[in-house]
Amino acid sequence: MARSTRIKTRQRSGVTEVLCLIDHPMETGQRIDPRTNRVIPAHFIQKLIFEVNGKQVAEADIGTAVAQDPVFVVRVRGTRSGDTIRVKWTDNKGEKGSASTFVA
């Protein structure tokens, strides 16, 4: 299932803030579907990686305790205008997503 991943950057006090919004259901595997009375299978982001110019600067292991369509923020020092920021993620069902942008 295609999911959208959007990122943007902003400069604040010499630090680049990378904001990442991922369109994802983030199901815990503990909720019951009221129509079928069956458990909704777990479906959540497991790994999130941030890169600057191809070099990994942050990595996070994500679990089920994150809201649907999560927003993640990472602050990176030492970036310059024109640097490439890339975010990649994978979930427990093997789905993947990514997005990239440039530092303004």
Assigned superfamily of 5-102: Immunoglobulins (2.60.40.10)
pLDDT of residue 12: 87
pLDDT of residue 2: 56
pLDDT of residue 34: 97
**Which residues of the chain register pLDDT less than 50?**
none
Average pLDDT, the chain: 95
Q: How far is the C-alpha of 12 from the C-alpha of 39, rounded, in Å?
A: 44
Check residue 29 and report its DSSP letter: S
* Cβ neighbours of 29 (radius 10 Å): 12
pLDDT of residue 104: 85
